[in-house]
Chain A
Amino acid sequence: MHHFIKVLTSSVSSFRGMIPGEKTVLVTRKHWFFLFLPSWAFLISLFLPFLLYFYISRFTWYPFISGFFWFLVSVYVLVMWIAFSYNLMVYLLTCTIVTNKRLIRIETKGFFRYERDETDLGRIQDIAVKISGIFAAFLNFGNLEVQTAGTVVRFIFPQLPNPQKIRELIMSLQEKRMR
């Protein structure tokens, strides 16, 4: 119970696996555009049962099945809601964390499936920003490619908002750490 309350009331900056003296500087997720696209698909699909209603409500047998039809619609909405929430969960739990010591990438791939990569700021050799495509240029999102001296030599942080600012932030933190 104590752990549950602690998790619910944890501050913006805390996350599992923090090391002593570590402070979170930034928690960022993929650009909202990548949540917006599937959300539209779900929203549009919610109108499908109503289109079907306008078609079948003309038939003489419709009053006999109207209760069952609306029950099926409610089940359809339930399923769509769970599917949308699953997408939202994956979006929220896939994030990039910049701390004063490390750069961490957590990628959620489904229920109980996630990948976590991290590198020490001191090991970073180069950070490149890659923006490709018209939407990326307009909405200002892109990939952050981090070259390191560690065992995993290249980290790719995909579709981050304001990648240039994040790059500058990481470099300034790296400079502070070097001093």
Chain B
Amino acid sequence: MQNIQDIILGVAVLVYLWYVFIIVYHLIRFGIGVHPKVVVLVFFLISIFLLMLSLWAWSRVNWDQLFDLIKKFLSVTKTG
């Protein structure tokens, strides 16, 4: 179960980083003037900060407790 969670997390992080890269690439490659370049710097820093925040939130989730709760909920709904 832990492996599946890690794979899902890894794929999600890669997809997120891909979008960050594409936006940075567009702003640097096609941006005209100073504004897009300043935006790139701010965007990149905030993106990394938010990613770190999400990874921290992920690490704080008690998955066993959560799955137990889901199992209990399902058993209650099955037995009515």
Q: Which residues of A contact B (CB under 8 A)?
A: 4, 7-8, 12, 14-16, 27, 61, 64-65, 67-68, 70-71, 73-75, 77-78, 81-82, 85-86, 88-89, 92-93, 95, 97, 106, 108, 111, 114
List B44-66 residues whose CB lies under 8 Å from chain A.
46-47, 50-51, 53-54, 57-58, 60-62, 65-66
Residue B11 at the A interface, CB < 8 A?
no
Q: Which residues of B contact A (CB under 8 A)?
A: 12, 16, 19-20, 22-23, 26-37, 39, 43, 46-47, 50-51, 53-54, 57-58, 60-62, 65-66, 69
Q: Which of A27, A70, A85 contacts B43 (CB 8 A)?
A: A85
Contact A93 B53 (CB under 8 A): no
Given the complex, which residues of B lie within 8 Å of A67, measured CB to CB? 57, 60-62, 66
Given the complex, which residues of A lie within 8 Å of B23, measured CB to CB? 82, 85-86, 89
A-B contact count (CB 8 A): 83
Give me 6 other A-B pairs in contact (C-beta within 8 A), A85-B43, A93-B36 excluded.
A12-B33, A67-B61, A68-B61, A73-B57, A75-B12, A77-B53
Q: Is the interface of B mostly helix, strand, loop or mixed?
A: helix
Q: Which of A7, A74, A95, A106 contacts B50 (CB 8 A)?
A: A74
Given the complex, which residues of A lie within 8 Å of B12, measured CB to CB? 75
CA distance A65 to B69 in the complex (A): 9
Q: Which of A73, A92, A106 contacts B35 (CB 8 A)?
A: A92
Contact B50 A81 (CB under 8 A): yes
* B40 closest partner in A (C-beta): A8
Closest chain B CB from A111 CB (angstroms):
6
Given the complex, which residues of A lie within 8 Å of B53, measured CB to CB? 74, 77
Given the complex, which residues of A lie within 8 Å of B65, measured CB to CB? 64
Contact B34 A12 (CB under 8 A): yes
CA distance A106 to B36 in the complex (A): 15
Q: Which of A7, A14, A78 contacts B28 (CB 8 A)?
A: A7
Contact B54 A74 (CB under 8 A): yes
Contact B66 A68 (CB under 8 A): yes
Residue among A61, A74, A108 facing the most chain B CB atoms (10 A cut-off): A74
Top 9 nearest A-B pairs (CB, nearest first) are: A71-B57, A74-B54, A67-B61, A74-B57, A15-B32, A67-B60, A92-B36, A12-B33, A68-B61
